[in-house]
Chains A and B, each alone.
Chain A
Amino acid sequence: MSGRTIGTIYAKELTDSLRDRRTLVSTLLMPTLLMPLLILGIGSLASRVVSRARQEVPRIMVVGGADSPGIRADLEKSGKFRIEAASADWKALIADRKVRAAVEIPAGFERALGSGSAPPVIVYGFDGELNSGMATGQLRIFFTALRDRTTARLLADRGLPASVARPFEVRQSNVVPPEKTGGNLVGGILSYIIITFCVIGAMYPAMDLAAGEKERGTMETLLCSPASRTDIVIGKFLMVLTGSLAAVACSLVSLSVTLAVAGRAIAAGPASAARGGGAAIAIDPLGLLGVLAMVIPVSVLFSAVLFTVSLFAKSYKEAQSYAQPVVFLAIIPVGIGTLPGIDLSARLALVPVLNISLVCKEMLSGVWHWGFIAAIFATTVIYAGAALALAIRMFRSEGVLFRT
């Protein structure tokens, strides 16, 4: 093995790849732009939709309640609803989004309030529809307040204080620093994004440097040189690894900048207000460093696997059809790792890729299981080494290099 030859091959591949538009898009442009597009673009769009729904005064219908004029008047006076004249097809109108919700007030409701044994009020809506959800929510708030007022009046009539019905309050407080909260909220999805870019960043350089070179005839030109096959494969592999790590680095830098810009806006937004407000989403920098350290052997693993697969292909097109299943095989376990309730265990620590996803999620949440971290790092390094050895072996095979 010659370091000088490997360096020469790597430098050439780097120059060549930096002039390849497809590689630049997959390793630099896409990872840089995806985060701002997702968080700022889709996030601000979703925020605008929610805020528009909040500002809307929903059209509702009151079904029944002819003998409860006070309730009806209070609903109108609240200014929170636009009451439409009731019609028999009110269910269809809700389904067609022409009316947001309806409330059924049973006969004798207002009169029964005084005795404390009123029949139930039923709120109707379109489950899963945002504006309808807002309207039913407002109706529930209105009737809950009415119930509280009625309770207080009934207690006062009997000479009892209101605290009899509510002897104590329950409050909730977050004891975890904002970095841990942020890590827990976005750790799963962050691991997913990082590992996905780890694969995508390696995919195009691997296909171009292996199958692409075979197809264009430059592989034979290179094989005529005195460079040994091991030097060639390592030089090329290092470029594939560079693509993978560059994609991860770009996505992380882009994500950090996006979170810094958008984090406070998200925290101050309606979604956060609904949770009772909170600090900006913050990520523990130590957790991010841990993720980066774990990502290196994963990058080596994916780079070697994709390079091997691409080497076997006769053409760029064939390499694409081989690489796509590899990408899916990598992304599926990462996706499983993002599911709530899937936590790192001794059994899952042995499953490649899924273990990385889970341990990254934990590290971003500020949980450091050193035993698992060491075991997962070591096994991934072993998998990566085996994949690289396979790539070298494949590159020495005439049947693979001159496959027609």
Chain B
Amino acid sequence: MIEARLLTKVFRDRKKGEIRGADSVSFRVEPGSIYGLLGANGAGKTTTLRLLATLLSPTSGTASVAGYDVATEPDKVRARVGFLATSTALYARLTAREMIAYFGRLNGLGGPELRERIRALAGELDMHDFLDRRCDKLSTGMKQRTSIARMLVHDPQVMIFDEPTLGLDVIASRAIVQFVRQCRERGKTVIYSTHVMSEAEKLCDVIGIIHGGRMRAEGTLAEIRARTGEAGLEESFVKIVMEGQRA
């Protein structure tokens, strides 16, 4: 489970002054569900997710991931989280197998247990053909599967996806969406950030719309539509963001 309570992150910039990347953000994600975090570029999605993954520490507020506090037990949080973003790249000079094994070892796996885990993931993600090929020689789809295997190697309870389909073609994006669905079916707690409305409509059980670092609206797709009186998620999103800009 993920629970964020008034989570705030303030950045200090010499030119721009104080920037509130996340401003009193609160939400809850239950196991076996997908929470969609929607927002335009610079809305605060990545900051919020980095706070949950303990890459950043909160200025104020708290969050717990899989029962551990992000500020006081960051190592335990990271051991239970799988984080996939467009910015989480692969080591070009390692093979796909070495890449997965490296992150397995960092998560405390080793020996026959790690070998068996890599074999199982390679089978599940159809990676056997390129498992011993260097990552810089892989196609985009192969890289994506390697990233997913890297994320899954320690079988995390919580999965965080930060715009994972950004820059991918339709086929590759569909594979990611399919994979996220499977995570829900396996009972994982999933948080998925995107600005692609169709993806959110297809995937998410609950949607949170973030703008200017603040949570502007939250609810199921039907609840969001009902609140704005709009037929589609895109129109609802635009309406909520415009209201946020006026506020």
Q: Which residue of B lies closest to A228 (CB)?
A: B75
Q: How far is the CA of A313 from the CA of B237 in the complex (A)?
A: 37
**A19 and B93 contact, Cβ closer than 8 Å, known pairs A217-B87, A220-B88, A226-B75:** yes
Shortest Cβ distance from residue A209 to the other chain B in the assembled complex, whole angstroms: 11
Contact partner of B57 (CB less than 8 A), chosen from A221, A226, A398, is: A398
Q: Which residue of A lies closest to B80 (CB)?
A: A226
Of the listed stretches B100-108, B172-180, B211-219, chain A binds B100-108
Shortest Cβ distance from residue B76 to the other chain A in the assembled complex, whole angstroms: 8
**Is the C-beta of B79 less than 8 angstroms from some C-beta in chain A?**
yes
**A16 and B94 contact, Cβ closer than 8 Å, known pairs A223-B55, A225-B78, A398-B57:** yes
Enumerate chain A residues within 8 angstroms of B105, measured Cβ to Cβ.
8
Shortest Cβ distance from residue B104 to the other chain A in the assembled complex, whole angstroms: 10
Contact partner of B78 (CB less than 8 A), chosen from A8, A220, A224, is: A224
B90 touches A225 (CB 8 A): no
B94 touches A216 (CB 8 A): no
Q: Is the interface of A mostly helix, strand, loop or mixed?
A: helix
Enumerate chain B residues within 8 angstroms of A228, measured Cβ to Cβ.
75
Q: How far is the CA of A228 from the CA of B74 in the complex (A)?
A: 9
**A12 and B94 contact, Cβ closer than 8 Å, known pairs A221-B88, A224-B53, A398-B56:** yes
B78 touches A226 (CB 8 A): yes
Q: Which residue of A lies closest to B55 (CB)?
A: A223
Contact partner of B150 (CB less than 8 A), chosen from A221, A226, A227, is: A221
**Is the C-beta of A172 less than 8 angstroms from some C-beta in chain B?**
no
A221 touches B90 (CB 8 A): yes
Please tell me the size bucket of the interface on A.
20 to 34
Encode B74-117 as 1/0 by CB contact (under 8 A) with A.
Answer: 01101101010101111111100010001101111000000000
Encode A223-251 as 1/0 by CB contact (under 8 A) with B.
Answer: 11111100000000000000000000000
Q: Which residue of B lies closest to A222 (CB)?
A: B106
B93 touches A224 (CB 8 A): no
Q: Which residue of B lies closest to A20 (CB)?
A: B93
Q: Which residue of A lies closest to B147 (CB)?
A: A221
A220 touches B85 (CB 8 A): yes
Enumerate chain A residues within 8 angstroms of B103, measured Cβ to Cβ.
221, 225
A16 touches B93 (CB 8 A): yes
**A225 and B107 contact, Cβ closer than 8 Å, known pairs A220-B55, A398-B57:** yes
Which parts of A169-228 form the interface with B (CB within 8 Å)? 216-218, 220-228
Q: How far is the CA of A8 from the CA of B105 in the complex (A)?
A: 7
Shortest Cβ distance from residue B48 to the other chain A in the assembled complex, whole angstroms: 14
Q: How far is the CA of A41 from the CA of B25 in the complex (A)?
A: 68
Q: How far is the CA of A226 from the CA of B79 in the complex (A)?
A: 5
Q: How far is the CA of A223 from the CA of B98 in the complex (A)?
A: 18
- Of B56, B85, B106, B150, most buried by chain A (CB within 10 Å of CB) is B106
Enumerate chain A residues within 8 angstroms of B88, measured Cβ to Cβ.
217-218, 220-221, 224
Contact partner of A5 (CB less than 8 A), chosen from B94, B98, B106, is: B106
**A216 and B92 contact, Cβ closer than 8 Å, known pairs A5-B106, A12-B102, A223-B55:** yes
Shortest Cβ distance from residue A225 to the other chain B in the assembled complex, whole angstroms: 4
Enumerate chain B residues within 8 angstroms of A222, measured Cβ to Cβ.
106
Q: How far is the CA of A217 from the CA of B91 in the complex (A)?
A: 9
Shortest Cβ distance from residue B101 to the other chain A in the assembled complex, whole angstroms: 9
**Is the C-beta of A117 less than 8 angstroms from some C-beta in chain B?**
no
Encode B140-161 as 1/0 by CB contact (under 8 A) with A.
Answer: 0000000000100000000000
**A224 and B102 contact, Cβ closer than 8 Å, known pairs A16-B93, A217-B89:** no
Encode B28-52 as 1/0 by CB contact (under 8 A) with A.
Answer: 0000000000000000000000100
**A8 and B53 contact, Cβ closer than 8 Å, known pairs A220-B87, A226-B78:** no
A402 touches B75 (CB 8 A): no
Enumerate chain A residues within 8 angstroms of B83, measured Cβ to Cβ.
224
B98 touches A218 (CB 8 A): no
**A221 and B89 contact, Cβ closer than 8 Å, known pairs A8-B105, A226-B107, A398-B56:** yes
B contacts, CB < 8 Å to A: 50, 53, 55-57, 75-76, 78-79, 81, 83, 85, 87-94, 98, 102-103, 105-108, 150
A-B contact pairs, 5 of them (CB 8 A): A216-B92, A218-B91, A220-B87, A226-B76, A226-B79
Q: In the complex, given contacts A15-B98, A223-B55, A228-B75, what are 8 additional A-B residue pairs having Cβ atoms less than 8 angstroms apart?
A: A15-B93, A16-B91, A220-B89, A221-B89, A224-B83, A224-B88, A398-B56, A398-B57
Of all A-B residue pairs in the complex, the 10 with the closest CB atoms, nearest first, are A217-B89, A225-B106, A226-B79, A224-B83, A19-B93, A221-B88, A226-B78, A8-B105, A217-B87, A227-B106
